[in-house]
Chains A and B, each alone.
Chain A
Amino acid sequence: QLQLQESGPGLVKPSETLSLTCTVSGGSISNSSYYWGWIRQPPGKGLEWIGSIFYTGSTYYNPSLRSRVTISVDTSKNHFSLKLSSVTAADTAVYYCARRSGIRQPLDYWGQGTLVTVSS
């Protein structure tokens, strides 16, 4: 059974860089059928797509976040990572990693999510 697990600091200071990793188990991140990505949900609000990556390193970012987002993949560790720079309180959210079975296909598997709070 495929599992995705987010990890990283739960507290980040304003203006610093948020860094999270999603470790994939029960399947290979190098499978050419799948894309991997990040979605976030501010407290009490809806879902927002951050970006996606293919195992080759090709990335697709939400235009509203593109200037601050970097997503990378490490196939040897079967994980992918998110960096969001210059964070503010508005970036406080639960961050989810997820998989989709094609570049334009809906998500099929989700991680459990991790809360990141931006505060000094």
Chain B
Amino acid sequence: QSALTQEASVSGTVGQKVTLSCTGNSNNIGTYAVGWYQQISHGAPKTVMFGNSLPSGIPDRFSGSKSGTTASLTISGLQPEDEADYYCSTWDYSLSAWVFGGGTKLTVL
């Protein structure tokens, strides 16, 4: 069982806004910056958000936020190429390890 909890699947239509969530606790998300990683068709993960920063080359329709022990990745104006698995990750100081969520499969209808 993952230390971070993500929805197993989320779907949306082209142009819609969708939000993916990542829930942890005070030992991880409540204290440390969260990264979000996109994995298309089992290829290499790509960072789409780290902390509140958008990496170079990532469309600004991606945004990240955090409230307490839950982090969120929002995609405004969903595109077909956004269909992928998305993983969240952060440091957990009680486990002394970087932990990942189980991943959310985003389907663009």
Binding site for B on A (CB under 8 A): 46-49, 52, 60, 62-64, 96, 101, 104-113
Contact = CB atoms under 8 A, between A and B. Distances in A.
Nearest to A64: B97
A106 B89 contact: yes
Contact of A104 (B47, B87, B91, B103): B91
Interface in B59-95: 87, 89-91, 95
A48 B100 contact: yes
Interface residues of B, number: 27
The binding surface of chain B is classed by DSSP as strand
B99 to A, nearest CB: 7
Contacts of B103: 46-47
A52 B102 CA distance: 21
Nearest to B55: A108
A115 B39 CA distance: 16
Contacts, number: 61
Contact of A46 (B32, B34, B102): B102
Contact of B2 (A46, A106, A108): A46
Contacts of B36: 106
Interface of A is mostly: loop
Nearest to B97: A62
Contact of B32 (A48, A62, A104): A104
14 contacts: A47-B37, A49-B98, A49-B99, A49-B100, A62-B97, A96-B44, A104-B32, A105-B50, A106-B90, A107-B35, A107-B50, A108-B50, A110-B45, A110-B46
Given A48-B100, A63-B96, A104-B32, A112 B37 contact: no
A112 B87 contact: no
Interface string B1-42: 010000000000000000000000000000011111100000
B37 A107 contact: yes
Given A46-B2, A46-B100, A48-B100, A107 B89 contact: yes
A72 B41 CA distance: 31
Nearest to A65: B97
